[in-house]
Amino acid sequence: MDRGGTFTDVVGTAPDGSLHTCKVLSRDPHRPADPALRGIDLLLERHGAARGHRVASVRLGTTVATNALLERAGAPTLLVTSQGMRDALLIRRDRPDIFARAIRRPSPLYRDVVEIPERVDAQGQVLLPLDEEALRRALVAARAAGIEAVAVAFLHGFRHPAHEIRAVEIARAAVSAK
């Protein structure tokens, strides 16, 4: 599936290997259900599959999201990261021309960064617990400054995801308490 601003295109592969396609409006005031689900239902209906027929897998790409990234047109976003890691994404490791004197970097997708006291080592051991109150204060300030979205990326979060999970919970609560 490809979810675009105007249409959502759906391609289905039947058990016999044949391909089937359909196109639905991405925003249809007469049919408010998600366009991807509407497209799947329509495709199954057109080709005689019974209601509730099992779908083996779904792959979704969104032109809307891709265009927002390319045009830098997304919501004003805050990056929440571990204290001391503010510049990690800007510094990066993948420099195509390591000896270039003038480094050209794409502008970041986020508008601001906040560093939160917390630290996990490379083995996933907590060295410093997540400072939830510091995070709450930072989120309140960011919201007041016009931030509408939050991305959380803590150092070694893949080894110990609990801090990132908790930070997302706190962010959701902060947004809903608006």
pLDDT digits (tens, 9 = 90+) for 71-104: 878 889 999 999 999 988 877 767 777 788 887 7
Domain stops at, among 44, 69, 94: 69
Residue 95 is part of which domain span? 75-176
Domain stops at, among 48, 69, 90: 69
Q: Which amino acid is at 115?
A: E
Other C-beta atoms closer than 10 Å to the C-beta of 63 total: 16
Q: Do 170 and 93 fall into the same domain? A: yes
Q: Do 46 and 113 fall into the same domain? A: no
Predicted TM-score (pTM) of this structure:
0.66
pLDDT at 153: 95
Q: What percent of the chain is predicted at pLDDT more than 90?
A: 44
Q: Do 81 and 50 fall into the same domain? A: no
Q: Do 31 and 50 fall into the same domain? A: yes
b/e map 138-153, b = 16+ CB within 10 Å: bbeebbeeebebbebb
Within 8 A by CB and 6+ apart from 30, the residues are none
Q: Do 86 and 167 fall into the same domain? A: yes
| Beta strand 2-3 pairing with 7-13 | antiparallel
Q: Return averaged pLDDT per consecutive 10 residues of the chain, 178 residues in all.
A: 88 86 89 86 83 78 77 87 91 76 80 96 96 96 93 95 96 76
Closest Cα to residue 151, out of 168, 176, 129? 168
